[in-house]
Each structure stands twice: as C-alpha cells, then as structure tokens.
Amino acid sequence: MLRKTRKSEPKARLNAQDWELAALEALAESGLAAVAVEPLARRLGVTKGSFYWHFPTREALIQAAIERWEKSDEDQVIAPAAAVADPRERLRELIRQVSRKRQSHAVFAALFRTLDQPLVGPLVERVSARRIAFLTEAFRHAGFDANTAANRARLAFSAYVGFVQLAQIGQPRMTHEEFEDYIRDFIATLIPR
C-alpha cells in the first residue's frame, strides 16, 4: 500500500504524493500529532518551502493523506477480494488480504485515536460502514440469512478493530506462524466449510 520514504535522503523534486506517503508513515508510527511540516520536511530531506508548493496547510496534507489511505484500502484490499467469484472464498481472501496490511492497520489505529478530529471522524465512519457493508453482502452471498450475515460482518469487523488496537500496545505477541494460525482459525470460525 504505502512505500517507505527514505529519511534525510535529498530528492531533486518532490510531488504531493511524496508528502502524502511521508504523512501516512508518520501517522502510522506516531499518530496524528506527528504529521507536522518541519519533521516531514526533515524526513524527506527538503525545506518547508517544498511543502507549501503542494499544500496550503497541514490540514490539506492530512486530508490528502487519509484520502490516499482510504483509496488504497479500496484498490488493494476490497477490489481484489470482490473479484473472487466464490462468495466463501471471497470472504477468506478478504481476511487474508487485510491481515497482511501492517502499515494500513497502524494508520487505522492512529485514526481511531483521533476520532474527535473533524477530518478523521467522518472518514473512519465512512471506511467502517463500507467495510461492514462489504462483509455483510459477502456473507449474504455465502448463503447466510440477512440477520446472520449482518451479525457475522459486525463480529468480523469488531475483531479486526480490536486486534488492530491490541497491536498498538504490543499485544498479542505472536510469531509469524502463530499469526497465520490465528488467521486460519478466524476464517474457520466465521466461514465454516
């Protein structure tokens, strides 16, 4: 989803995308307060003037960065899963795709910590509603009745949000193999064969 910027490596010309990606990295690493012009300029190896060439304000950068994250979520997680024909396999693929997006999880967790911010609350609400709707529809297509599909969608999304929040405090500590087992168990619990 997001490529790492190289700290303090000078660039001949930056574009708005470079600033947005650096803002998302800072957001994922240290939260919304870390998305500040001077530290980002240092990270990118440029002066503040570069920032103002692309964005009038810090808020404009934040807006562009979180919209980039939202679109990336659509393009790299939802769209590939939606392309899977078998409804049960579509759900399994969605869970597998989501489980591999560490930086995206960190951004989402950081956004949850700042829901009171005017730029953040509506975005998180929109992304959450879209994810739950996608899950509900997928469970319906997988043969669950409307009520069960909605409940499983809420359960899956709640488990995801909880896991992302726990990861922010270093829990649960799992090896790669343990995490893969967790994902397999999660899929088997929600989408029985």
Residue 4's pLDDT is 55
Instruction: Name residues whose C-beta falls within 8 Å of residue 27's C-beta, 6 or more positions apart in sequence.
Output: 34, 35, 65, 66, 106, 107, 110, 111
The pLDDT value given to residue 3? 53
pLDDT at 193: 78
pLDDT in tens, the chain (193 residues): 455 555 544 455 899 999 999 999 999 999 999 999 999 999 999 999 999 999 999 999 999 999 999 999 888 888 888 899 999 899 988 888 888 888 888 999 999 999 999 999 999 999 999 999 999 999 999 999 999 999 999 999 999 999 888 887 888 788 989 989 999 999 999 888 7
DSSP string, 84-118: -SSHHHHHHHHHHHHHT-HHHHHHHHHHHTTTTST
pLDDT at 96: 86
The DSSP result for 14-81, as a single string, is: --HHHHHHHHHHHHHHH-GGG--HHHHHHHHTS-HHHHHHH-SSHHHHHHHHHHHHHHHHIIIIIHHH
The pair of structure tokens assigned to 11 is 């660039």
Peptide bond into 122 cis (omega under 30): no
Q: What is the pTM of this model?
A: 0.84
What letter would DSSP give residue 156?
A: H
